[in-house]
Structure 1
Amino acid sequence: MSEHSGDALHSGGFTTPAAAAAVVAPKSRAGRNLPAALAVGLGLGLSLIAILLFVPKVFIAVAAAGVGVATWEVAKRLREADVMVPRIPLIVGGQAVFWLGWPFGASGVAGAFAATTLICMVWRLFDHGLQQAPRNFLRDTAITVFTLAWIPLLASFATLLLLEPDGNLRVLTFMILVVCSDVGGYVAGVLFGRHPMVPSISPKKSWEGFCGSLVFAVIGGLLTVTLLLQANSMIGIVLGVGLVVVATLGDLIESQVKRELGIKDMGTLLPGHGGIMDRLDSMLPSAFVSWLVLSTLI
């Protein structure tokens, strides 16, 4: 999730509903309902830690549920903006992309992604019947494939990471580092933020916050990689820096999507955070980079 999730949003290239009404709740300088955000974040974090330590395979089901809700949130927002993504094959196929990594590894993920892409194309081609040509077919199918890659495909690397030796500890490591990045960016941004990083996309994200993310994530990487994974400390530095970069980019990507749709949050399920997708924006690319770094270097 972004270090500052309360960006001022404007309409972009789609016909959109009015921007979401402001939440009537105490907010921090960064735009969050801080007590609610802390309570929800702490509850989710402790629950996931317990699952990963004691029943790690249950994490797949929990993560799959999150992926399904996040995909539904994004599809709903897109359809509100008259982007007619085929929701049923997108959500069902997204679950196949995520789950098939468990028995079949990367081959299962790739096969499910290709099959779902084809089904979504055909579904959109004929969703108005055989006698009427679809409107905006190219735009809608391109955005559908983007959504499929953005959420289920990137999330599937968490499953692949879990299946490796000490996989539960690897997943826990990457999640801790994303939290370190988020917390470091939030603290440094609120206390010292003066220089906007990309004001045209996320006005409240600052370079000072980015530096705070780097400091927290590198320290977190050193500790988790050496203590949890019993690996070389340099891997922790590489992983920490890499996750800060991709988590920040993931945050900016979702901010731009929301800006173009003219909305503040993808959903309202998590008080103080927005929707599930608002919580996963930085986690998704981080899952891929964590799998790549840890599979290669350990």
Structure 2
Amino acid sequence: MAAQSGSRAGRNLPMAIGVGVGLGGIALLSLLTYRITFLIVIAAAVAVSVWELQGTLLRARGLRISWIPVAAGSVATMALAWPYGPAALGIGIAATTLLCMVWRFRLGADGYLADLSASVFVTVYIGLFAGFATLMLVPADGAQRILTFLILVVANDVGGYAAGVLAGKHPMAPTISPKKSWEGFGGSLAACMLAGALCVWLLLGGHWWVGLLLGVAIAVTATVGDLTESLIKRDLGVKDMGTLLPGHGGLMDRMDSLLPSAVVTWALLTVLVPTLA
């Protein structure tokens, strides 16, 4: 039986909430003061996530990713996306991949393809996906767009957790994440749609129905991201990607739903909600 301070997921719930509030406070402070400081926050999160993931891959599978080029290239790609837009993402990721190909030469042929494939995967999964958060931040209303994005991802987690604990009976993917239920997904969907309608209307001046669509998209994407991370951890035979965040595991354990959701949020808001810039 889990400890009284824990959750049904086996986490220390008060600790997890405290860490989550702290991270949210850092993000909110950077958004409300000077937007570019949020870019620095994202860059730091990306660099730490790459370092964290390389350690897990090395311990679990013996994969030696080129983590220095991946981290440096990912951060540089995000920074260049601020002045140069989407084109910088493609060029930056391609350049980072080329650098990884050369960097890995020093270790010889043994395991070259596996190591390079892992490096490219991490570059795309973390570097490219996080770059879309930079693109959201660029317009004059970028802070509101990022805030909308973060609120919806939090609503997904809170709605899913609450509905899953109170009414979760039918497993969604028992072989991947046994505690994730269809009832929990319903809670995520309802919370995301409500939060989306309010955020798009009040923060971005868009139509409420756009927020409903965005809420559905984020509920699906965040769930896919969470299940994907669960598959990766099961494949590697680890419970968490790290121990940096008490009550959560590693930083990558918090990035799982954020990364793919950043891509979808940028795309939908770009098409359906005109920017102020």
Q: TM-score with structure 1 length normalisation?
A: 0.88
- Of structures 1 and 2, the one scoring higher in RCO (CA 8 A, sep 6+) is 1
1:24, 1:180 → 2: CA distance?
A: 26
**Map of 1:111-130 to 2, 5 A cutoff?**
111-124=91-104, 126-128=105-107
1:193, 1:154 → 2: CA distance?
A: 31
The C-alpha deviation readout for 1:63-86, integer Å capped at 9, x for no partner, is 100011011111111111201111
Which residue pairs with 1:34 in the alignment?
A: 13
**Map of 1:209-248 to 2, 5 A cutoff?**
209-248=184-223
Which residue pairs with 1:90 in the alignment?
A: 70
One-letter amino acid of the counterpart of residue 74, structure 1? L
Question: 1:30: how far off?
Answer: 2.1
Question: Does 2:131 align with 1:156?
Answer: yes
CA RMSD of aligned residues (A): 1.4
Which residue pairs with 1:52 in the alignment?
A: 31
Choose the corresponding residue for 1:296, options 260, 271, 276. Answer: 271
Structure whose residues are more often helix by fraction = 2
**Map of 1:41-190 to 2, 5 A cutoff?**
41-80=20-59, 81-124=61-104, 126-128=105-107, 133-190=108-165
2:27, 2:128 → 1: CA distance?
A: 21
One-letter amino acid of the counterpart of residue 26, structure 2? S
SS of aligned partner of 1:203? strand
2:12, 2:162 → 1: CA distance?
A: 15
One-letter amino acid of the counterpart of residue 119, structure 1? L
The C-alpha deviation readout for 1:239-296, integer Å capped at 9, x for no partner, is 0000011100111111111111111111111111111111111000111111000000
Q: Percent identity?
A: 52
Out of 43-52 and 211-220, give the one that drifted further. 43-52
Question: 1:136: how far off?
Answer: 2.1
2:215, 2:73 → 1: CA distance?
A: 32
1:190, 1:25 → 2: CA distance?
A: 15
Q: TM-score with structure 2 length normalisation?
A: 0.94
- List 4+ stretches of structure 1 deviating above 4 A: none
Unaligned runs of 5+ in 2: none
Unaligned runs of 5+ in 1: 1-22
Native 8 Å contact 1:220 1:240 kept in 2 = yes
Choose the corresponding residue for 1:254, options 222, 229, 235. Answer: 229
One-letter amino acid of the counterpart of residue 109, structure 1? L
